Amino acid sequence: MSTQAQTLLIIAAVGALQLWVFVRNWFRMATLRNIFRRADSWRVLKDANGLVSGIEGEGNRVYQEIQHAINQYLSNNRGSVIDFQLLKDAVDRHFNSIEEDINAQSPVPIVFGLGGTMLGVIVGLSTFDINTILSSQPATAEASIQMDEAVHNVDNLLGGIAIAMGTSICGIVLTLMGSLLYKHTKQRAEQGKNRFLAWMQAELLPALPTDTSKALVQLVHNLNAFNTTFQENTAHLGSTLGQINEAYAVQADIVRTIKEMDINKMATANVKVLKELSASTEKLEQFNTYLSSVRGYTDAILQFHSQFNKESERLHLLEEQVSTLQWIRDFFQAELTQINQRKGAISKSTADIDDTLQKALGGLQKHSETQLQEIQTMVVDQVDGIQRLIRAQAESFEEASRRMMVAFNEQMQQMPRLADHIEAISRIPEALTRLQQSIHDSQAELHHQLLGGMQQLMQQQSQFLQQQVHHMQQAQTKAVEAVAPRLVLPRWMKWAFAAVGVIVTGKIVLDVVLLLVTPGEAAAGMP
Question: Domain residues for 78?
Answer: 1-210
Is-contact 28 106, C-beta < 8 A?
Answer: no
Is 304 found in the same domain as 222? yes
Is 219 found in the same domain as 184? no
Task: Give the mean pLDDT of 111-134.
Answer: 72
Alpha-carbon distance of 293 to 299, in angstroms, equals 10
Is 89 found in the same domain as 75? yes
Is 299 found in the same domain as 222? yes
pLDDT tens column, 276-314: 766 666 666 766 676 666 666 677 777 766 776 777 677
Say if 282 falls within a structural domain.
Answer: yes
pLDDT reported for residue 522: 38
Is 27 found in the same domain as 40? yes
Say if 393 falls within a structural domain.
Answer: no
Residue 351 has pLDDT above 80, yes or no: no
pLDDT tens column, 392-434: 766 766 776 677 667 656 655 655 554 555 555 556 556 666 7
pTM: 0.38
Number of domains present in the structure of the chain = 2
Say if 159 falls within a structural domain.
Answer: yes
Is 258 found in the same domain as 173? no
Strand partners, 56: 43
Task: Give the CA distances from residue 251 to residues 204, 263, 286, 341, in Å, rounded to whole numbers and listed in that order.
Answer: 67, 19, 18, 90
Task: Give the mean pLDDT of 134-163.
Answer: 64
Boundary residue ending a domain (335, 351, 371): 335
Q: How buried is residue 112: exposed, middle or buried, by Cβ count under 10 Å (0-12/13-18/19+)?
A: buried
CA-closest candidate to residue 108, choices 167, 181, 180, 29: 167
Residue 30 has pLDDT above 80, yes or no: yes
Boundary residue ending a domain (294, 318, 335): 335
CA-closest candidate to residue 40, choices 27, 56, 21, 23: 56
pLDDT tens column, 227-249: 888 888 887 777 787 778 777 77
Say if 68 falls within a structural domain.
Answer: yes
Is 261 found in the same domain as 141? no
